[in-house]
Amino acid sequence: MKLFIPNMLANADAGFWFPEQSSTVAEHSDSVYFFILYVCTFFFVLIVSLMVLFMVKYRHRPGMEATKTSTHNLTLELSWSVIPTLLTIVMFWVGFTGYIDMRTPPSDSYEINVMAKKWVWAFQYPNGWIESELHIPEGENVTLTMSSDDVIHSLWVPAFRTKMDVVPGRYTQEWFKATRAGEFPLQCAEYCGQKHSMMVTKVVVHETRGDFDKWLQQASDIHKNKSPEEAGEYFYKTRGCIQCHSLDGVPKNGPSFKGLFGKEEKLADGSTVKVNENYLRESILEPQAQVVLGFKPIMPTFKGQLTDQDITALIAFIKAQK
C-alpha cells in the first residue's frame, strides 16, 4: 500500500535526508517517514505560533482587567480530539501494512544464509560458497535467513531501508529487491562489543542474473584460481581473521600472524606448545582448547565453515608471514 501523499515527499530519497532509494520497499518506508514528519511539523508550528500569538495579544497590561471568556467550546474540543485520532490511525495503518510486507518474504525469493559473529558477516550461497560481502542480482527478490554465533547483531542496509536483528539460538529473515546496480554499505546496527563499529561490509548488486551467476561460479573456484597462500589470504580477510590477528607483529585480540609459525607459545594453563600445522588446525576448529596466555578465549569456531582445503590454504598463508 502506498501513501496518498505528494510524490515530492515519497521521492525525497537522497541528499540531505537519506541515501538514494535502492530497493522496492524504500519508497514506502520514506513515504511513511515524511508523512509523519510533516504532520508533526505542521502541528508543532501551528501550536507554538498560537501560543506566541496569545502570549502577546493577551498579555497582562497595567490598568486593564481580564475579561471573562467562554469555559467550554464543544466544536474546538472535538476538533483537537478527533483530528489527531484520525491522523494516528492513518499513521498506524500505513506503517503496519508496510511492516507486514517487509516481514513476509515472497515465495520466489533467492535464499542466502547469513551467519553473524563478532565482528564479521558470512553470507552462504545455495552452492555452499561463503563470502564476506553480500552479492545479489538486481531486480530479483532475495531473502536472507540469518543467525548469530554469539550475541545479538542487526543487519542494516540503509539504501534498502531494511534492518533486522540477528539473534543467537533462532533464525530471523529479511528480504528485499534491489532496484539498481552498484555497491551499498551494510553494517551492524546493534551494539555487539568492542569492535561493533568495524562490523561493516557491502552489498554488491549485479546488473543481471547472468553477471551474478558468473561471479558466483568464479568465486567458488578459489582453489583453482589461486595458489594456497593466495587462497589463505582470501580466507584471512573474509572470515574475520583480520579483525583479531595482525600481520605486523602487533597483537590485537589474538596473537599476530607475523613470525607465528614455528614459535613456542605459552598457554593460559601454564603449558607450552609449538605452533605447527596441527596446532593451527585445532585452533581454527576448537579455538578454546589451547588459549595463548594473555588473550581472552573469544575466538569463535570455524567448524563446518571451512573445508580441509580451506584450512590448509589458511595455514599456508600463516606460514608465509615471516
Coil, helix or strand at residue 117? strand
Q: Are 274 and 264 in contact (CB under 8 A)?
A: yes
| Single-letter amino acid, residue 278 | N
> Over its length of 322 residues, how does the chain's per-residue pLDDT go in tens digits?
333 333 334 444 455 678 888 999 888 888 899 999 999 999 999 999 999 998 988 888 887 777 777 677 888 889 889 999 999 999 999 999 888 988 888 888 999 999 998 888 999 999 888 888 999 999 999 999 999 988 999 999 999 999 999 999 999 999 999 999 999 999 999 998 888 998 999 999 999 999 999 999 888 878 877 888 988 888 888 787 888 899 998 888 889 999 999 999 999 998 999 999 999 999 999 999 999 998 988 888 888 888 898 899 999 999 999 8
Walk across the sheet containing 162-166 and list its strands: 134-137, 200-206, 182-188, 153-157, 162-166
What does the H/E/C string look like for 246-279?
CCCCCCCCCCCCCCCCCCEEEECCCCEEECCHHH
0.95 exceeded by the pTM?
no
